[in-house]
Amino acid sequence: MTRFSSLEFDDAGGQPERHAGEPIRDERYFQDQAIRSCLHGDFELGLRNYSRALECNSHFLPGWAGQIRMLIELGEYKEAVIWADKAMELFPEHPEFLSHKATASFRDGRFDKAMAFSDHALSLDNPGPWVWLTRMEILLKQNRRIAETCIPKAVACAGPETSLIRLQAGRILSRYGYYACAMDLLSEAVRDFPKSPLAWYELGHCQHKLGQRNQARTSLEQAKILRPDWDLVDSESAAVEDRFWKRLLGRFF
C-alpha cells in the first residue's frame, strides 16, 4: 500500500456539513483551495484539496488533472502515471492527461515514453496549455531553441489560467537553467500573484542564479513574509549570502 492509497474515492460525495453563511464546499470550492495551496508552495495540501474535490465529484476533470500535477510536483512520478491512467478510464485519450503522463515519465528518466505520450497529446484535437508546457520541457532538455515557441502557444489557449500558465512556464525554464528567459515570466507572475510565496521564491531563485543579489534578497524576503515557515526560502536566502561572501573573500585570497 502506498501513501497515496487514501486518494481513492467513490461517487458518494463526502461534502461536510455546511453551516449558515459558509461557502458551499463542492468540487469548485476545493479546486480554489488547491490553487491557493499551490501558490503557497504547499503541494501536499494542494494534493489533499484536489482529492477532496474528487470526493465531491469523481468526474471533475480539473480535480484529476490537478491531483496528477501535485504528484509530479512532489516527485511521485510513478504514482502520477498511475493516476493519469485512472483518469483516462473516465476521459479516454484526453490530451491533458497524456501530457501529464509525459511529464511524469520524462522526469522519471523515461524519455522515449515521454516523447511518445507528448506526440500523442499534440495529435489530438484542442491540445491545451499544459500540453504545450510539457512539450516545452521535453524540448528544453534537448537544448532546442524551438522549445520557447511553445510558450505563446500555451498562453494563447490558457483562458482564465493564463497567469498560472505563465508562472509554470517560468518555473520550467528555471528548472533547466534558463534563468534569464524565466525572469520576464516570473516578474509577471509576482504582479499577478503578489501574495504568492511560490512566485516570489521562484523569482528570487532566478535572480540569485543571475548574480542579482539585492533583487534576490528582496524577493526572498517577500516570500518569507508570506510564508515564514518555508525551509526552501531559508535555504535559498542562505545560498545568496554564502555566494556573496565567497565572492568578496575571493578578492583577497
CATH number at residue 246: 1.25.40.10
Would you say residue 64 lies in a domain?
Answer: no
Would you say residue 8 lies in a domain?
Answer: no
pLDDT above 60 for 22: yes
Q: What is the pLDDT of residues 139-151, one digit of tens each?
A: 998 877 889 899 9
Would you say residue 203 lies in a domain?
Answer: yes
- Provide the 10 A C-beta neighbour count for residue 197: 23
The predicted model gives 238-252 an average pLDDT of 62
Compare 244 and 157 and report the one with higher pLDDT: 157
Q: What is the pLDDT of residues 48-105, one digit of tens each?
A: 999 999 999 999 999 999 999 999 999 999 999 999 999 999 999 999 999 999 999 9
What is the C-alpha to C-alpha distance for residues 33 and 220, in angstroms, rounded to an integer? 24
The predicted model gives 193-206 an average pLDDT of 98
Would you say residue 252 lies in a domain?
Answer: yes
The answer to whether the beta carbons of residues 156 and 147 sit under 8 Å apart is no
Would you say residue 199 lies in a domain?
Answer: yes
Would you say residue 232 lies in a domain?
Answer: yes
The answer to whether the beta carbons of residues 206 and 186 sit under 8 Å apart is yes
Confidence (pLDDT) at 21: 65
Q: In the structure, what pLDDT confidence band is assigned to residue 194 with cuts at 50, 70 and 90?
A: very high
Confidence (pLDDT) at 12: 36
Confidence (pLDDT) at 1: 37
The answer to whether the beta carbons of residues 185 and 164 sit under 8 Å apart is no
The predicted model gives 127-136 an average pLDDT of 97
Q: In the structure, what pLDDT confidence band is assigned to residue 246 with cuts at 50, 70 and 90?
A: low
The predicted model gives 240-248 an average pLDDT of 62
Share of the chain above pLDDT 70, in %: 87
Confidence (pLDDT) at 15: 45
The answer to whether the beta carbons of residues 81 and 38 sit under 8 Å apart is no
The pTM (predicted TM-score) of the whole model is 0.87
The predicted model gives 234-244 an average pLDDT of 85
Range of the domain at 197: 183-253
Would you say residue 242 lies in a domain?
Answer: yes
Nearest by Cα to 241 from 208, 202, 200: 208
The predicted model gives 123-149 an average pLDDT of 91
- The answer to which of 53-62, 91-100, 212-221, 236-245 has the lowest mean pLDDT is 236-245
Helix ranges, the chain (H): 27-39, 43-56, 61-73, 77-90, 95-107, 111-123, 129-141, 150-156, 162-175, 179-192, 197-209, 213-226, 231-250
The predicted model gives 195-224 an average pLDDT of 97
Would you say residue 246 lies in a domain?
Answer: yes
The predicted model gives 24-53 an average pLDDT of 97
Mean pLDDT in the chain? 90
How many folded domains does the chain comprise?
Answer: 1
The predicted model gives 183-204 an average pLDDT of 97
